[in-house]
Structure 1
Amino acid sequence: MTFKSDIWLLLWIGLVALVAYAAKLKKKETVLGQETERYSLLFAIITFLPVFLFVSVGEIRSDIWLYLSSFDRLSMSINEVFQNWWTNKDPGFTLIEVIIKQIFGNNRDAFRIVFALMQSIPLVLVYRKYSVDYVLSVFLFITMGYYSGWMMNGLRQFLAACIIFAATPLLIKKKIVPTVFIILLAMTIHTSAMMMIPIALVVWFEPWKKGILISFIVFVVALFVFVNTTDMLNEEILKYDDGANPIRIVISAIPVVIAFVGRKKIESANNPLINICVNMSVFTMLTFFVATFTNGVGTGRLPIYTGLFNLILIPYLAKNVFDEKISKNIKLFFVIFYIAYFFYSMFTGAQ
């Protein structure tokens, strides 16, 4: 099915890209100890604003209906949330709902706006600071369907993912204890965030080396066992979810393959953020693999946690891994490929 608002989002990011290129809006900043160029925070907000509006006040899609219905029925007080904290499933999410209801009443618009803000703020801040091409990152966010497939269709889980994504600066600095604390906080929103605890302990390993390769193998085996021995992911809201589309394996494999081909330059640069992003990209591909070849229910949404890092990695690969001529061709390939994927997803409903 074709949605006009989706087309407008694509046209908007195209216009922003043209303006950014023509006006040369980047300014010098120091990121990870190196002088580089970044867009202003105001420009970053304006670029992402239509996505936020789409999710917060646009047409209601997917399982957002179930979240709104649950919000309507919610009758707990803040005290009751804390009294039942250890018995209530995902109490952090319930607490946010109750606070919204206490302040705004049974207002569905307030529910959507607050959660869209909580998702959008970490995305804008992290991508603006760490992506070498913020506009391309937002373009990928749109063309890969994150705005509807995750921000609306997986609202609760995506909020947990955004909370963890906000901890990127801690992860870069290898501050494991506070990073794990934030993951535990995200688990009160959605228990599947627990997947990120073991990943956080190994993701900063140097890509393609023995340590991380062993971690990949252990991860796949553990995830297969977990999926086949627990019903934790089979929640009511996912009962009609048939898991990951096999094409997602191909999509997620593209940055992995390019990163492997350009591994010598990545190794030479030894950028701690990019090392993390490469490993996250492999974890994303492996999770889609498991989701496709198991029952898939709920598992197909697990890559949401690691997939956000691909939107930092892909612009970096397009700019830094090969010589200037090849880099331009790779960026053009990414733009054409993901626009094609955007329309494929729109007309087939593939996620």
Structure 2
Amino acid sequence: MWKLVPIIVICLAIAFFSDRFSRKNERLTGYIYKEKFIWIVAVIAMALFAGLRIQYNDTGTYLDMYEATNADFDFSDVKWSFGYNFGFNIVNIFLRSLGFSKSGYLMVYSIVTYSIYVWFIHKYSTDFLMSIFLFMCLVFTFPLAAIKQCVAVAFCLLAVDKAINKKWFWFAFWILIAETFHAYSIMYLIVPLMFFLPWQDKRTMFWIVVFIVAGFLLRPMLGTLLESTESLGKDYTIENFSGEGVNPFRLLVSLVPLVMSFVLRKQINDPYYEVNRAEELCMNLSFLNGEIMFVALFGTANYFARLANYFYIFPVIALPRMFNMVKPNWRVPMKVVAIACYAMFLYYGNAINQPIDNELKHILLNEFRFFV
């Protein structure tokens, strides 16, 4: 966990100064002015931390895959199926053919992924400092392990941005691009159905019931699920989806936005708090993270928890918005408790459950080369 401390401190300091040079409105529902450049320094810090790694989780597997990739712009081995992530493979062939080193390969994906993630947070968060704190606790280490999935999520965030602005052609375009990197990006087609105020009508409860039923019916419906994955080009067996379920502690953390929104449902639906189209979408998508994680209780965490992680970034935006809906005299104590709890979750995940210091290794900056 100590290896994460410097990058966390650096990014929080950058977020602090970014907020310092911005101005929030009196109701804390958003910014009157938001600085435009300081956040880029956080992207650079994150990309360097991720791009200089040589070992962590699946990093070795990705590096071996990259070394085995065709060069000289040879696309003969590409399988043109969404299930085989042909977009990811094509980009890798280009990088290999252009002479990018293994470290350069990791750096390119780190820059793309973290740039889009932090840009999206900066654009839509109403409390950038708190959002970056939550991002470091919940999301930051995931792109170090799941390169394909996380770059696909990044492209999906571009799609969400277009959906918020009702640019549906570009929404479909970015979903299609993401789909070529990771087939489960198709889940983002649910986005157009998520533009509604939480708890205003029966739609919030409808989705809760859908996922509760899906959890309890998961094992009886495994045959249908396998047919669905085959249509995406994935060859799974019943054993793949019937392993150990997700850690209940992780489920509880993912359900925080849903529970908090229920407690604050009157404020969310009060015109005084001015919940806009982007914020209602981020709240609803943050609920999906917890709802899919609930299904992971009944199946294997390896697959369903990763499905839930497609929506892991939205609590980063939704929670700070809800924190500022709490009554003023309770707001600071509540934030202190939230910071303490998420810091403990970060510590548990990276120091106790899977100690990151034992696995994460880096090269020095002066050893880095973009090209072979």
Question: What amino acid sits opposite 1:273 in the alignment?
Answer: A
What is the TM-score normalised by the length of structure 1? 0.85
Structure 1 partner of 2:58: 63
What is the TM-score normalised by the length of structure 2? 0.80
Structure 2 partner of 1:312: 317
Any residues of structure 2 matched to 1:108-257 within 5 Å, and which?
108-144=102-138, 146-148=139-141, 150-197=142-189, 199-208=190-199, 209-219=201-211, 221=213, 224=218, 225=221, 229-230=225-226, 232=234, 244-257=246-259
Question: What amino acid sits opposite 2:103 in the alignment?
Answer: D
Structure 1 partner of 2:265: 263
How far is 1:245 from its partner? 2.2
The alignment yields a C-alpha RMSD, in angstroms, of: 3.0
Q: How many residues align?
A: 335
Q: Residues 220 and 68 from structure 1, CA distance in 2 versus in 1: closer, same or farther, beyond 3 angstroms?
A: farther
SS in 2 for 1:297: helix
Structure 2 partner of 1:7: 5
Taking CA–CA contacts closer than 8 Å with sequence separation of 6 or more, which of the two structures ends up with the larger relative contact order?
2
* Residues in 2 aligned to 1:227 and 1:177: alpha-carbon distance in whole angstroms: 34
* Residues in 1 aligned to 2:171 and 2:338: alpha-carbon distance in whole angstroms: 32
Structure 1 window deviating more from structure 2 (212-221 vs 183-192): it is 212-221
* Residues in 2 aligned to 1:18 and 1:84: alpha-carbon distance in whole angstroms: 46
Q: Does the 8 Å contact 2:323/2:335 carry over to 1?
A: yes
Question: What amino acid sits opposite 2:64 in the alignment?
Answer: S
Q: Does the 8 Å contact 1:160/1:189 carry over to 2?
A: yes
* Residues in 1 aligned to 2:133 and 2:177: alpha-carbon distance in whole angstroms: 29
Q: Does the 8 Å contact 1:243/1:291 carry over to 2?
A: yes
Deviation sequence 1:26-50 (CA, Å, 0-9, x none): 1589xxxx86232332x10123433
Deviation sequence 1:127-184 (CA, Å, 0-9, x none): 111111222222111122x222x20211111111111012232222344443233222
Q: Does the 8 Å contact 1:81/1:91 carry over to 2?
A: no
* Residues in 1 aligned to 2:111 and 2:7: alpha-carbon distance in whole angstroms: 18
Structure 2 partner of 1:36: 32
* Residues in 1 aligned to 2:14 and 2:81: alpha-carbon distance in whole angstroms: 46
Structure 1 partner of 2:69: 74
Q: Percent identity?
A: 22
Q: Does the 8 Å contact 2:159/2:172 carry over to 1?
A: no
Q: Does the 8 Å contact 2:82/2:183 carry over to 1?
A: no
* Residues in 1 aligned to 2:112 and 2:15: alpha-carbon distance in whole angstroms: 25
How far is 1:297 from its partner? 3.0
How far is 1:86 from its partner? 3.6
List gaps (5 residues or longer) in structure 2.
Answer: 356-372
How far is 1:222 from its partner? 5.5
* Residues in 2 aligned to 1:205 and 1:4: alpha-carbon distance in whole angstroms: 41
